[in-house]
Amino acid sequence: MTETFVNINLLPSEFIQAEETRENKPYLYLSSLMVVLLVITPFLFLKQENILKQYVLEEANFSLKEYEKYKPKIKEVEEKINELKEKKKAFRIVMGKRSIWLARLLDIGKTLPSRSIYLTNFSPATGNLEIKGEISLTHMKTAFDDLRNFALRLNKLDYLEEAVVTQCDRDKTKEKLVFAVTLKIKE
């Protein structure tokens, strides 16, 4: 007797299908489980991302509350900084003008014809300048020559013009000649 490869099954087809279904049940359960996991996984990631966003939002709200709490102080400090900047700007302008006048005063001092002349007052005004001083009276003629030379030298400076001696009095108690010279400041 030889083995035959022909298999004859006389069972009804419903029974064969039930048998196949029973054999495939573990695969069906496993596939269903995989489908459930595939459906749940994105929701888990979305939930995790939502939790992370909530945490970031809470931190941002906390920072915003802290900022709001210190906002008036920050504005005060910013206003003080702006005031200081304005003062610094004004200070630089004043210092610039003063340094210009200091340089001019030094130039005026260099124009003095002798050591017997002393400047006692220097008053710049709008467009004009008044210089007051004293001259030691060792010789009357020398004192008047020194005053005339001083006025002429002042006219030679680039930023001054029209030097006029407005006062010239003799102080007998101090043996000095007191004078005042008025000038125009060139624009």
177/135 Cα distance (integer angstroms): 5
Question: pLDDT averaged over the chain?
Answer: 81
45/63 Cα distance (integer angstroms): 27
Question: What's residue 57's pLDDT?
Answer: 95
Is the pLDDT confidence value at 20 over 80? yes
| Domain architecture of the chain: domains with CATH | 12-110 (no CATH), 115-185 (3.30.1360)
The tens digit of pLDDT for each residue in 61-117 reads: 999 898 888 888 888 999 999 999 999 888 887 777 777 777 777 777 777 776 777
The tens digit of pLDDT for each residue in 52-62 reads: 999 999 999 99
Cα–Cα distances in Å, from 94 out to 47, 81, 88, 99, 102? Answer: 66, 20, 10, 8, 12
Question: What's residue 1's pLDDT?
Answer: 59
> How is residue 58 written in tokens?
């809470």
The tens digit of pLDDT for each residue in 169-187 reads: 777 777 787 788 777 877 6
Question: What's residue 13's pLDDT?
Answer: 81
Name residue, tokens 């340094």.
Answer: 99
Question: What's residue 80's pLDDT?
Answer: 94
DSSP-derived secondary structure letter, 75: H
> How is residue 157 written in tokens?
């400076």
Burial 6-38 (b: 16+ CB within 10 A, else e): eeeeeeeeeeeeeeeeeeeeeeeeeeeeeeeee
Q: With the CA atoms of 67, 71, 75 and 76 taken in that order, what torsion angle do they form, in degrees rounded to the nearest 10? A: -120
Share of the chain above pLDDT 90, in %: 25
Q: Are strands 117-124 and 176-185 parallel, antiparallel or unpaired?
A: unpaired
* Mean pLDDT, residues 117-133: 75
